[in-house]
Structures are given as C-alpha cells and as structure tokens.
A = this chain, B = another copy of it.
Amino acid sequence: MRIAELSRRSGVAVPTIKYYLREGLLPPGELTSPNQARYGERHLRRLRLIRALIELAQVPVASVKVVLQAFDSETMSLHERIGTVHRAITPHRQVTADDDVRAAATAQVRELIARRGWAVEPDAPAIATLVETITALRALGQDSLAGHLDAYAEAVERFTELELAAVTSHADPDQIAESVVIGTVLGETLIAALRLLAQESISARLLGPASASGQ
C-alpha cells in the first residue's frame, strides 16, 4: 500500500501522515526504491492508534511519541511502561496557592495512600496533580468534594482492578503491555465520558430538568 491508500483507509490527510513520519510517530515505510515506499497493515493500525491518542485522549503529539516508545519497547517491564506513560500524559502543574493549604493537602494525600496501602513512588506525577487539585478545591471552599477522597479512591480502585484483571488475562505478555498502554490512556477518556452521562442522569433524577436554582 502506498501513502494515498494509507490516507484513504485511515482518513488521515497525506500531509499529516508525512508529518507523523517526520516526527517519528509512524515508522517509515519499506523502501522499494530510493524514493518509493510501501506501507502495511501495521502502519494503518499505528495510525489509528495515533489518531485515537490525539483526538480522543487529547494527548499532545510530543507525548504520543513517548507513549508509543513505551508501547514498542523491547526492554521495559510492564511497570516501567506504565510509569513512562503516566509521566507522558501528566502535565507538570503548579498552581500558585497558600503554602500551608498545599501542605495540608499533601498530608491528606499521603494519609490516603497509606490508608489504602497503595504502593506508589513518592514522586509519581499523579500525586502532584492530586495535591494541586485538592489545594484548589479547598481554596475555592469546596471542602465537601475534597473531603470524600476515600470514597472516590475506593470506587476508582474497583474499576482499575477490573481493568488490569481483564487485560492481564491475555496470554501474550506483549499483548498485555499493548492493552495496558492503550487502556491507561483511552480508559481515562472512557471513564470521563461515562461520568458525564451518569452525572447528567443523576442530576435529572435528583433535581429535575425544570428545578430552577440561582434566583
């Protein structure tokens, strides 16, 4: 298959495919002559994965590259791949706030992790995000949300366990790695969408579409 067909079958414009080739997201096609290449089903699959990461999970192109490296790695353990993906998809966030509010949030997160017996690196990027988010919630007077962390953690733990169990039931370790990498990134999009639907539905039931507020 040449680039035009790859473009047609993937729905991605030819210049965009060339861009992904340049950026190293898509491996080069097999050269049949100095200026003629051939692409296979592997390229089509990869292109679909790239588009899903960019379009659905909103992962920046530079991070997609890192994710794909973890995806392709022949040497990383599954745990290392997960760490790499987590670092790639977690932006460095530092919202300015009172240092003592943040200190309290940090303590709360540390206690939560201890209480749940979670084995995580102390510099896991998600910890910083969690601390900043709780700090922001408290600074905004939303203590009720920040105060129910344990309940959220339990619910989240449930489906994460489920997800990893489903995925590790594959026989092939390569396939497990593939599933975990895809699941880590697209799972977030999936869960976020489900949450919005659940919220819409529960709010309709609890409050009624006509129950006005704010007058």
Chain A contact residues, CB within 8 Å of chain B? 10-12, 45, 48-49, 51-52, 55-56, 58, 73-83, 86, 90-91, 93-97, 113, 116-121, 124-127, 129-130, 132-134, 136-137, 139-140, 142, 144-145, 147-149, 151-153, 155-164, 166-170, 173-174, 176-177, 179-180, 182-184, 186-215
Contacts and interface: CB of A to CB of B under 8 A. Distances in A.
Contacts of A125: 196
Given A144-B169, A145-B167, A48 B113 contact: no
Number of copies: 2
Given A77-B211, A77-B213, A204-B79, A45 B140 contact: yes
A198 B118 contact: yes
A76 B209 CA distance: 10
Contacts of A177: 213-214
Q: Which among A126, A160, A212, A214 has the highest number of chain B CB atoms within 10 Å?
A: A214
Contact of A194 (B90, B153, B207): B153
Q: Which among A56, A129, A133 has the highest number of chain B CB atoms within 10 Å?
A: A133
Contacts of A180: 203
Contacts of A148: 162-163, 166
B142 A207 contact: no
